[in-house]
Amino acid sequence: MRGWERRHAAQRWWGEGPRAGSVMSAEPPLGMLAELTHRCPLHCPYCSNPLELIAKHNELTTAEWLSVLTQARELGVLQVHLSGGEPLARHDLPELVSHANGLGCYVNLVTSGLGLTESRMTDLAERGLAHVQLSVQGASQQTANLIAGTRAHEHKIAAAELVRAAGLPLSVNVVLHRANHDELADIIALAERMGADRLELANTQYYGWALRNRDALMPTREQLDAAEPIVRAATERVRGHMEIVYVINDYHEAYPKPCMHGWGARQFTLAPNGDVLPCPAATAITTLELDNVRDTPLAEIWYDSASFNAFRGEDWMQEPCRSCELRGKDFGGCRCQAFLLTGDAAATDPVCGKSPQRQLVDDILAADGGEPAFAMRGPVERAR
């Protein structure tokens, strides 16, 4: 056996993530976001599900999901995020948790908390569930229920208790927007009372329902300015027992986000009907032809499909991305956002200060959208 020091010197500390290179060579994916269903008891106007929801009769069967999980693990997936809609709406959830855990995956449940009972929580924990991510809509019952479009708030407080009683780590996720930004300090206090290990405060990103409601959701400049010192002080105060992650919307940034760490690089999303998406919002790109696990093996879709190769590496890039020194860091930003705002999915993400189309974003920020009413996310019963 080689000596300690030699090993230490010869090997990198952390494995590097996949690199964006001009040669197309995909690495195995690390994570899968499994949208088990689009059914959900909540109607949040910023829902990340597509405007065209998938109906129950088009959802993958239990056998199909079990096969997807097996294929995903063989492909290299280590993290499985069971999401939706509300994943608790699927009665086979315990079976899927057992299977994913048995395969060696880290299983995360992304839930609204509605439908979580003590017996279901205990059962899921015994089956190997590793982590629960609970959404919270606001600090006050009134705001939270208004955003959720139903009486959800008290269920969330109860759900957090169940997660803690089961001994699982808890992340609280809050999407921030104009209607709840002023409650930020109270939201942080609520997450502390819930016993969260981690609090993610993410300003709304405008895709799907959130894009449709952008004028009503966009926080004011004053709200954003007020938020920063609150977050900074709280982060210091709770250090050691709760981690706070605060994400601002990229419209306000000078450079785009490194969306998905590159297209088809680390993670993919399974829609309830088996469509495989390179990004959770990818159905927005209407020019993208998606493949489905009912017709094609997952590995073939990951490595060979037109959709996953469309924006892999750098060959697809236009100027100013093509010659930009940041292209290996931000991968040109978000393809879905480029398509939604410019109509061209291969354009530089227009939030980038170097984009010739940045004016589109500045105009949106400068516009006074007024106080329009929310278009609440519809029920799945009306879906195809």
Q: Which residues bind another protein (CB under 8 A)?
A: 1, 3-8, 11-15, 28, 30-31, 73-76, 78-79, 104, 106, 108, 130-131, 133, 167-169, 171, 197-198, 243
Q: Smallest distance from the beta carbon of 237 to another protein, in angstroms?
A: 18
Residue 370, phi then psi, degrees to nearest 5: 75, -155
- 181-182-188-189 Cα dihedral, nearest 10 degrees: -160
Q: DSSP letters along 300-349, please?
A: HHHHH-HHHHTTSSSTT--TTTTT-TTHHHHTTS-HHHHHHHHS-TTSPP
Show Cβ contacts of residue 347 under 8 Å, excluding neighbours closer than 6 positions: 318, 338, 339, 355, 357
Nearer to another protein, 30 or 51 (CB): 30
First to last CA, the chain: 61
Q: Is 329 exposed, middle or buried (0-12, 13-18, 19+ CB in 10 A)?
A: exposed
**For residues 4 and 363, which CB has a smaller minimum distance to another protein in the complex?**
4
- Closest separation between CB of residue 51 and another protein, Å? 29
133/143 with CB nearer another protein: 133
343: alpha, beta or left? (left if phi > 0; alpha if psi -120 to 50): left
Cβ at position 81, least distance to another protein in Å:
10
Q: What is the DSSP letter of 52?
A: S
| Minimal distance, residue 172 CB to another protein, in Å | 12
Smaller CB separation from another protein, 37 or 108: 108
The CB-of-371 to another protein minimum distance in angstroms stands at: 36
Tell me the closest approach of the beta carbon of residue 277 to another protein, in angstroms.
Answer: 20
By beta-carbon proximity to another protein, the closer residue of 302 and 374 is 302
By C-beta, is 171 or 203 nearer to another protein?
171
Helix (H, G, I), strand (E, B) or coil at 98: helix
